Amino acid sequence: MVLAAVALAAPPALAAAEDPAEMAKAARAARQAELEQVARDIALTDERLAELRAEIEALDKDRGTLNQALIEAGKRVQSMEGRIGETETRIKALVKNEDALRASLARQRGVLGEVLAALQRIGRRPPPAILVRPEDALTSVRSAILLGAVVPDLRKAADKLSAELGQLVSLKNELARERDRMRNDMESLAEDRARTEFLIAERQKQRDASAAQLAEQERRATQLAEQATSLKDLIARMEKEVAAAARAKAEADAAAAKRREAAEIAKNRVPPDSLGESDRLAPAVAFADARGLLPLPASGKTIRAYGEADGLGNRSEGMSVATRPNAQVNAPSDGWIVYAGPFRSYGKLLIINAGDGYHVLLAGMDQINVQLGQFVLAGEPVAMMASPKLASAGDVDIVSTQPVLYIEFRKDGTSIDPAPWWAATDDEKVGG
């Protein structure tokens, strides 16, 4: 290289370069540990928890107010989980760029040494001055020719190094901003999750079924789940043999009949633009008419759509969504809980009777917060996902380090595509 011609003296000793791949691996591990520590450090003070409890106690305890507060808290949690997920994606991209820049700089350590050595050598032995010592004219001309060839290379190498170092500084500043944003969002998430837990506890107090009755029905539900050979069989057994589920089915059928009667009276009714008031005790809108109105039950990325190959030689009868660890799951529709518990390879399973022969199934959760026979509203928090772990192979599962929520819609026992029922997200509305 031309630089070597100027670097007549040996370059200063540089620290031994470490393996760039190992450096990048160690840096990624450190950053991941830092993000996990941020999540662990987010905890509400006892004082703030007391304020939240007082806020819930001050609520008017009528059903509509409690439901509305719960749905609003659920929306905030879901929105915040989505924002945090987006921030994590941006951080991963920034970290990837930072690793690439660090690797590039590590590969140029030799170039950096040559640039520094050349500049040092020029400083120690500058070209001779012709006016002072005319006899050195030939040496001066030779030096000028050599410098004319070398300086552009020096400038090019130095400019490249300077640009990459500048990018690295900018990346580190942007990473710091994203981490601050993530910490603030996680603090808000922790607060809304606490508020949701208090609201769920208050809602549970208002359940009229006694603990003894509920425990007996849950025990019977567990027995039926062990005996059932399929989801269709499980639903049929539950709605026939468990009092709470049977009562839920009867209420769903009665509500559907009422809606049909009203529809006959007003045949030219306008399509609904909402699901009804928060104090409703039955679905105000028939499930078939709720197309384009239902909220997704959790924030996350769809990793398998209805009808796609499930990796086991079959087609998926539902959709699978990879969520954040401990993500909140909201009811996607109004309806009555006819099953809440473990079932075969589905893990913990929640079945909602939405009326008119429609059932909504949610599976893969770690914690369920509703009870048999309970009526829930669309958007109401009903469950929580698990911490990251490997899923097993089965109907729901996809091997992943993220929790996976499985969603299935059924009509008269047959699975149907849920896609037409989901409300457009803000991004979809903006994008058209």
| Contact (Cβ atoms closer than 8 angstroms) between residue 7 and residue 150 | no
Return the pLDDT at 80: 86
In this predicted structure, what is the pLDDT of residue 5? 39
At residue 43, the pLDDT reads 65
Does the pLDDT at position 287 exceed 80? yes
CB 366 within 8 A of CB 372: no
Supply the pLDDT for residue 294: 94
Give, in order, the Cα–Cα distances in Å from 102 to each of 111, 171, 177, 339, 375. Answer: 15, 11, 20, 53, 56
Closest to 336 in 3D by CA, of 269, 282, 393: 282
Q: What is the pLDDT of residue 13?
A: 40
Q: For position 143, what pLDDT does the model report?
A: 55
Which amino acid is present at 328? Q
How confident is residue 134, by pLDDT bands cut at 50, 70 and 90? Answer: low
Contact 362, 231 (CB under 8 A): no
Separation of alpha carbons 289 and 309, rounded Å: 29
Higher per-residue confidence, 114 vs 192: 192
Q: What is the pLDDT of residue 319?
A: 95
pLDDT confidence band for 135 (50 / 70 / 90): low
How many other CB atoms are found less than 10 A from the CB of residue 430? 8
How high does pLDDT run on average in the chain?
76
Q: What is the pLDDT of residue 336?
A: 93
Q: What is the pLDDT of residues 45-98, one digit of tens each?
A: 777 777 777 776 666 566 677 788 888 888 888 888 888 888 888 888 888 888
List CB contacts of 94: < 8 A, sequence separation 6 or more: 171, 174, 175, 178
Among candidate residues 269, 263, 334, 325, the one with its CA nearest the CA of residue 295: 334
Predicted pLDDT of residue 142: 57
pLDDT of residue 86: 85
Whether pLDDT at 25 is above 70: no
Highest-confidence segment of 239-243, 278-282, 305-309: 305-309
Residue 396 has pLDDT above 50, yes or no: no
Domain ranges, ordered by start, for the chain: 3-205, 212-431
User: Could you tell me which residue, 225 or 14, shows the higher pLDDT?
Assistant: 225
Residue 408's Cβ-count burial label (10 Å; 0-12, 13-18, 19+) is buried
- Residue 207 has, within 13 A of its CA and on its CB side, a CA count of 21
pLDDT of residue 405: 94
Q: How many CB atoms lie within 10 A of CB 241?
A: 15
pLDDT of 430 above 80: no
For residue range 213-229, list pLDDT tens digits in order: 677 788 888 888 888 88
* CB neighbour class for 400 (10 Å; exposed up to 12, middle 13-18, buried from 19): middle
CATH of the domain spanning 212-431: 2.70.70.10
Parallel/antiparallel/unpaired status of strands 358-365 and 300-304:
unpaired
The pLDDT score that the predictor gives to residue 417 is 95
Give the per-residue pLDDT at 306.
94
What whole-number percentage of the chain has pLDDT above 90?
Answer: 21
Query: 191-195, 202-206, 210-214, 379-383 — which is least confidently predicted?
Result: 210-214
What is the pLDDT at residue 15? 39
The predicted pLDDT at position 55 comes to: 73
Kindly report the pTM of this predicted structure.
0.68
Q: Flag whether pLDDT at 114 surpasses 80.
A: no
pLDDT tens for 145-155 read: 555 555 666 66
Question: What is the C-alpha end-to-end distance of the chain, expressed in Å?
Answer: 56
Report residue 101's pLDDT band, with 50, 70 and 90 as the boundaries. confident
In the structure, what pLDDT confidence band is assigned to residue 28 with cuts at 50, 70 and 90? low
Position with higher pLDDT, 277 vs 351: 351
Q: What is the pLDDT of residue 3?
A: 40
**Residue 131: pLDDT band with limits 50, 70, 90:** very low
Section 366-376 average pLDDT? 89
Query: pLDDT tens across 313-339, in order?
Result: 889 999 999 998 889 999 999 999 999
The answer to whether residue 192 scores a pLDDT higher than 70 is yes
| pLDDT number for residue 350 | 95
What proportion of the chain, given as a percentage, has pLDDT over 70?
67
Retrieve residue 80's tokens: 């915040």
